[in-house]
Structure 1
Amino acid sequence: MSNSLLEKQNELYGNLNFAAAIKKDNVGIIKHFIASEKEAYENNFQGQFYPSYHYEISRVMSTKMSKIDDEDIYLAFYYQLKLGNIYKPLEKHYPLFLKALAHNIDDNDLDNTFLDADILYLLFGIKNNENSDSVYDILYNDYANFLQFTKLCNSYTTFPNLRKKHAKFAPFLNNKALVNRIKKGLHYYFKSSFLTAGSLVLLLLDTSDSAKEVLYNLHKTNLKNTDVWLLGSFYMDFKKTDANKKLLKDLYATYPKEWIDEYQKN
């Protein structure tokens, strides 16, 4: 059944006449996106409209969508989020975006979503599907600022280059809500990722005792060799302050020297 539906979607959305007609039809783009993803989700395959028309979908969803009803805007957000696409909606659409996000979280369907749990935590403080309503507590401007931080983190392709550009992260030290969220939750999402890397940069730039305490506490969690190497590589590049030098010294005192000095593959 799913194969025949998939073939039908391929046939429809791969048709040149359809392509010529749909590209300027904003309402049609959203309706086909929703219909394609709904059918695909219910029958366990990837909808075929999105791969061919994701630029058009994003273009339409960045507009006021004045001719598109709220239910379709909400569903478009719902399926965009399920595909892992988190972005900044227009402020007028933010309540519909939050409703779609809460629905995704309530689904608790990790096998059929590309939503990143680490980004959800940094943006909304969400760690599980039991507190999905808390997304409504995040104001639009706060969300936009948190999102800007995650985008900056993920704009890099190597950790050394991210560390070299640490000045770009410094303004986020003024965002106390973001810094506090990182302090409270780094242990939750700590891994070899660019979100972790950006968070480490903020904690190493932060001169407060509470920022360093977060890192000292990480040292006590029986870290893997690869995690120790990751921390050490960041400490090495930020050891200009006494506080950060002490962090590096403690890491050496807690774990084997070679885990810090020699690249750990696995």
Structure 2
Amino acid sequence: MKVVVIGGTGLIGSKVVGKLTEHGHEAVPAAPSTGVNTLTGEGLAEVLEGASVVVDVSNSPSFEEKAVMDFFRTSTTNLLKAEAEAGVTHHVALSVVGTERLEENGYFRAKLAQEGLIKTSGIPYSIVHATQFFEFVKGIADAATEGDVVRVPDARIQPMFSDDVAAAVARTAVGTPLDGVIEVCGPDEFAFDEFIRKGLAADNDPRTVVADPHARYFGSELEEASLLPGPDARVGATRFTDWLARKQ
């Protein structure tokens, strides 16, 4: 099976390509660096020739509100048009658990717009909603830091390892289209401040972490369960504490 992975050179995309290749599929990474640009359409027709499945794990280079909306609308529109012309029979997209609950945030509005285009395209599809990745714990802390204090929402989170995200996306890609959404998450639920505190402690980072009910998560004020998956989510194997131990 030929599977084209849009964003196939990034953190998740490269792992999806690796996992599909390991299982005997022809997995083709597609990104500007490989001559494929979904914003301009460059290289799309060529890379999609003979493809059965397209996996889109690309992300906007800018999170500015207009830029991120333009990216997901333009990229997804061009991609779906090229897929229809190439006869692709399964479109898989990676999105975020809680997207539909965080519409006040420009990034999540853009992801919802992307999902809407996919659902109305007429191409059989599967959308994978993943929780936050372990790898981004420091980046989240940095964005929430004032002086030497990290202020994070008084909410809960169930993060996961990027390898487990990639495995879920790869399994979905070679399965029957869902024409719906599945959720994937890590095995352990944390208070948001506990997750950040554990991650920083593993790096001997001395910053103080404080739970603040009014602290924002990349611009969004959270309810306790805004980022949590539902009861039917598929659970990844890797625990955060084990991942931290392997980092040492």
Same fold (TM over 0.5): no
| Higher RCO (C-alpha 8 Å, min separation 6) | 2
Compare the two structures and name the one with the higher helix fraction. Answer: 1
TM-score normalised to structure 2 length: 0.29
Compare the two structures and name the one with the higher strand fraction. Answer: 2
